[in-house]
Amino acid sequence: MKQPASILVTDFDGTMTSHDFYRLALARLLPPDVPDFWDDYLAGRLTHFEALQRIFTHIRGQECAVMAVVRAMELDPQAGQAVRRLHAAGWHVRVASAGCLWYINRLLAEQQIQVAVHGNPGVYDPEQGLRMSLPIDSPYFIPTTGIDKLAVVRDALQRSAIVAFAGDGPPDLPPALLVPPARRFARGYLAAALRERGEAFQKFARWSEIAARLLG
């Protein structure tokens, strides 16, 4: 099989989109008396996966209402065009997410975006919420986040000399440090963490900017 010339590994929530699904779910889809599972994660009492899983199981509502919140994540409207431009230039795009494939695949399909996606599987039930499970059959499986983004980037580096990474959250710091600053794209938590470490990176506001810079 022909090896890709270049690979972009990208986070999804908060990177390809403007907002994280779990934050919108907390604000719009969960009862007010649900425990603060995210605080438990930050305090080390839950893994990242466990926190998201517990938040998602408390979601209630008809699927159409949940999808309205999914669309409020605001996937970059130029993402599809940007992916197609990258593909035409020989880049392979891989989405590596600690979130749930249930909403990721739906948003990507709405823009007809065809990329490799590594995330946590899930099904939605109005009475049981979004039931996210661990991707135990994935070659990048790790219990703490479901998908080991570090492993995804390491695999990309074995396949190509040119690898870029884009992210915004805590699980994105280790993989971001594997790529050179010129191809390290960050915002939010990741940008602050890199700045604190004195590590250079490329800032972005919209995901499609990344494609423009890589192709420029």
Q: How confident is the model at residue 4, as a pLDDT?
A: 65
Whether the per-residue pLDDT at 204 is higher than 60: the answer is yes
pLDDT per position as a tens digit, 94-112: 999 999 999 999 999 999 9
3-state DSSP of the chain: CCCCCEEEEECCCCCCECCCHHHHHHHHCCCCCCCCHHHHHHCCCCCHHHHHHHHHHCCCCCHHHHHHHHHCCCECCCHHHHHHHHHHCCEEEEEEEEEEHHHHHHHHHHCCCCCEEEEECEEEECCCEEEECCCCCCCCEECCCEECHHHHHHHHHHHCCCEEEEECCHHHHHHHCCCCHHHEEECHHHHHHHHHHCCCCEECCCHHHHHHHHHC
What domains are defined for the chain? 6-19+76-124+132-215 (3.40.50.1000), 22-71 (no CATH)
Read off the pLDDT of each residue in 183-211 and give the average, rounded to a whole number. 97
Residue 1's pLDDT band, with cuts at 50, 70 and 90, is: very low
Whether the per-residue pLDDT at 2 is higher than 90: the answer is no
Do 151 and 158 form a contact (C-beta atoms < 8 A)? no
Read off the pLDDT of each residue in 78-88 and give the average, rounded to a whole number. 97
Read off the pLDDT of each residue in 181-196 and give the average, rounded to a whole number. 98
For the chain, the straight-line distance linking the first and the last C-alpha, in angstroms and rounded, comes to 28
Tokens representing residue 77 in the block: 């409207």
Residue 124's pLDDT band, with cuts at 50, 70 and 90, is: very high
Residue 5's pLDDT band, with cuts at 50, 70 and 90, is: confident
Residue 216's pLDDT band, with cuts at 50, 70 and 90, is: confident
Read off the pLDDT of each residue in 145-163 and give the average, rounded to a whole number. 97
Read off the pLDDT of each residue in 51-56 and give the average, rounded to a whole number. 97
pTM: 0.95
Q: How confident is the model at residue 207, as a pLDDT?
A: 98
Q: How confident is the model at residue 164, as a pLDDT?
A: 98
Read off the pLDDT of each residue in 160-176 and give the average, rounded to a whole number. 96
Output the average pLDDT for the chain. 96
Read off the pLDDT of each residue in 99-126 and give the average, rounded to a whole number. 97
